[in-house]
Amino acid sequence: MTDSIPTGTALVVDDNETKRYIIGSWLRRAGHTVVEAATAAQCWERLAEHQVDLVVLDVRLPDANGMEVCEQIKAAPATASLPVIHISATAVDTTDRTHGLRRGADAYMTDPIDPGEFIATAEAVLRYYQARRRAERIAERLAAFTRTSLGINAAQTFDGLAAVAARGAFDIFAVPAAVFVHPPDGQVRRTVHLGNDPWNRPCAADVPARLAELAGLGDDTGTRIVSVPEARWREMLPDSASKGDVLLVTSRVKRDRPAIGVAIEARGASDEDSAHLLRQLGQSVALAMEALRSYTEEHLISLTLQRSLLPAVHPAMPGWAFSVRYEPASDQAEVGGDFYEVIHRDGEVLVAIGDVQGHSLHAATVMAELRHAMRAFAAEGHDIAGILRLLNTVMQRYHDDQTATVCLMSLDPRTGRLQVANAGHLPPLHIAGGRAEYGSRGGLLLGFPAERLGLEEATVPPGGTVVLITDGLIEDRAVPLAANLERLRTIATDVDDDLEVYSDRIIAEFGHREDDVALIVLRRDP
């Protein structure tokens, strides 16, 4: 099967009017559109005015050498891919033809020119350059698709995913695009990109389902692509900014999920390769949507579990004030195993803070087990060192692939006597008399065969304060841990009268955190 004969707009540049007419008539009969120029200056004017596909250029022009003009055409980014055919009635030697071809011409023909040979030559160079442009366009679109896929997979929110997909669709196909996603919160996102920045437009909740029906996807899984007439598209979305027919792809990974939709003006994907690329884009958005949805659901389950296991009320202790904080990391879809506990038993108060290794639903469930085990061991009357050793046994027996840090304190609220048992956790910060000092560090993490603990005793004087934190508050990739410990010590020295204000100030000092944060502050009345 032969390829179809390529046609396009040809620019004929020759100072001989008769010759321009003859060459132009040949091209017109072959189906080409023809524009003319008599000089090099007019040549550049026509190139600026028209979308030219082929230049037929006389070697000798009244204001320039045609070979130099060809070199300039090939050197300019806007015209570098234009094919140039030299024609000449005077520069007809072999050396002239060789020189012209070496300076960038794609063909060189001399008088007398045969009409059939000329048209065949024009079609040959057009065929080559059209194939080249098509290959370049495909390469550019594939590069844009790769960038978009990376952005889609890196998106951490549904709004971010929709914005990246809309921007990517515009970059790939160079036409206005719209992306439709339906996150678990029930609010449909219709994100449009018209060439500036993505922006959200109003969208009814039933639009994703209607798009799926329109594309023939219905309630099935998979991906469907369909061309939608402009009138029908505007029936569904009267405020659409698209012009002409729309090419729509819908995709769904699981049967019980809302379908996603990506729509572009159909002129942006006029061939099979472009339609296939749009199909791949829809599949990428659907897969990323499902992954983000699963992440969000696990995060919600974990966070609900974690918060349900944290103490809802704290024991009333005359002469003492308490403040606690739990701040989940705001930019991760999973939760960690941070926890705290305050238990009142037989005239003493047990205060615990800990962190289970990892960020996942599993980490949250291990935290729950440790917390319940700790309460059981406390109810049995074990001292704080015994409780930590028993917790270590639980970790080794049931979670030998996990570790945890725990700091457990026993406080006598009448005397201020404080006993501390530490298993690899950050030490408590003791504040009194305008000074702040960390307690002793030591002890192995829970989960190791050895049961070495860090033990110390102290007294909280009237007006004294003790601060306990998890490492999420002070860990920064670019800042040494010791530097942030000193920063905390400095800002925590001045204790506000209101411990809630004090706790908020400490949390705010370190700003956005990449990890969960737990904080306990207890103060003895002056």
DSSP per position, 170-238? HHHHSS-EEEEE--TTS--EEEEESSS--EEE---TTHHHHHHHHHT-TT-SEEEEEEE-HHHHHHH-T
Chain CA centroid to CA 479, Å: 26
Residues 292 and 299: their CA atoms lie apart, in Å, by 10
The pLDDT, as a whole number, for residue 73 is 95
CA angle in degrees (0–180, nearest 5) for 107-110-116: 75
CA gap 79, 11 in Å, rounded: 13
Please state which architecture CATH assigns to domain 9-135.
3-Layer(aba) Sandwich (3.40)
Which of 63, 116, 64, 118 minimizes the C-alpha distance to 86?
A: 118
pLDDT, residue 245, reads: 94
CA distance readout (Å), 369 to 88, 364, 470, 501: 91, 9, 18, 32
Question: Where do the CATH 3.30.450.40 domains begin and end in the chain?
Answer: 155-290
438 strand-pairing partners: 429
Mean pLDDT of 118-124: 94
| pLDDT score, position 2 | 43
Range(s) within the chain of domains with CATH label 3.60.40.10: 310-524
The DSSP bridge partners found for residue 226 are 248
Q: What is the DSSP letter of 465?
A: E
Answer yes or no: are the C-beta atoms of 315 and 367 closer than 8 Å.
Answer: no
Mean pLDDT, the chain, rounded, equals: 89
Q: Does residue 166 contact residue 177 with C-beta atoms inside 8 Å?
A: yes
Yes or no: say if 81 and 125 are a contact pair by the CB < 8 Å rule.
no
C-alpha span between 287 and 184 (Å, rounded): 15
Interval 68-97 mean pLDDT: 91
For the segment 454-513, what is each residue's pLDDT rounded down to a tens digit? 899 999 999 999 999 999 899 888 889 899 999 999 999 999 999 999 999 999 998 877
pLDDT of 317 > 90? The answer is no
Residue 258, both tokens: 């809302």
Q: How far apart are CA 208 and CA 261, in angstroms?
A: 7
- Three-state secondary structure call for residue 306: helix
Q: Which fold has domain 155-290?
A: Beta-Lactamase (3.30.450)
Query: What pLDDT is recorded for position 176?
Result: 94
Interatomic CA distance for residues 456 and 449, integer angstroms:
22
Cβ neighbours for 351, distance < 8 A, ≥ 6 positions apart: 340, 341, 342, 408, 409, 411, 468, 520, 522
Q: Tell me the two tokens of residue 51.
A: 């979308």
Q: What is the DSSP string of 36-75?
A: EESSHHHHHHHHHHS--SEEEEESB-SSSBHHHHHHHHHH
Q: Is pLDDT of 331 > 50?
A: no
* 3-class secondary-structure state, position 276: helix
Beta bridge pairs of residue 58? 87
What's the average model confidence in pLDDT over 383-398?
92
Residue ranges, comma separated, of all CATH 3.40.50.2300 domains in the chain are 9-135
CATH tag, 310-524? 3.60.40.10
Please compute the mean of the pLDDT values over residues 242-263 and round it to a whole number. Answer: 92
